Structure 1
């Protein structure tokens, strides 16, 4: 009987490490305040918190609001979410199948079927979108396409709440009866408001350099 009790207790231990919490309890992940939609589970052994029914994560400091159908996070490390709608302080909105946020670097990466829009761009799709919350930068890369303006590019970098957009070649862009195209992989087109600059000088490219790979 003693051996059976020991065996049973060992089997129950992993279950005890999964602590279910009420949906009314909010959590903190870095600058995010996270409100679960349903119950949340905390693994006391690994420190992982799971929100099987998803929830909302708000970073008021950096102007990010993330709503997801499913979410998990580990303090000091990463947040992962699926079925995501993300809004940013400049009014931009991103819809993505999956998102990961690295608390240490402040970088959010979206993958899967995704689309992005803000005041300057609509109907934008890409293989991946990265949002650097600390630098207020958005990078879309891989098969980048947009409806307005009509755009195709290998990648784009958005800075200054959309006031400056660097289009990286090869690219084509059509807007207001004007067309631009360059087949070179090292080509750039800088959009600043209504002004487009082909072959921008190094001084204008400097703010974008950390995001060019």
Structure 2
């Protein structure tokens, strides 16, 4: 179980580091800027989660996450050197997969310390969205989490999928896979068909 969790966590860090590097490329940052943006995207959400849960911060406890962040950033830089056109849709796809992977990691880690399911869903959402939020704020972009199409909601939907599978007595690995698939498909669907949750009318009524 721990090996499975570790692999998913490493995958989430790598994918989010790629999305941070792609954004750094779009903003024409220098090498230090690339490392900073890749790092905050990859480990920002998990850092906040561990602080809230009063746990050792995951990348301090295991430096593999720092190494995979740097490796993912380096490989992405090499790829972009040979493919100089900025692939914005790749950034969104990488972000969607990172969102889903970190959502599952946050859920599972909270449950490992016997947090209630509602708290676990919240921790999954924080883990999924906070790194990307930091990335976008640093780059002075409107954060994707606030940008109209379903984003944080996809983590919550995936979390409910996990909770349902958990209550049905399915194995932890199966619950994680169900939450992962639901979160990815919901986010990709929101990107493709522009799913939103409108609260206010698009135009304010005139007095």
- Asked if these proteins are the same fold (TM beyond 0.5), I'd say no
The normalised TM-score by structure 2 is 0.26
The normalised TM-score by structure 1 is 0.25
- Determine which structure has more spread, i.e. the larger CA radius of gyration: 1
Q: Which has the higher contact order (CA 8 A, sep 6+)?
A: 2
Q: 1 or 2, which has the higher strand percentage?
A: 1
Q: 1 or 2, which has the higher helix percentage?
A: 2
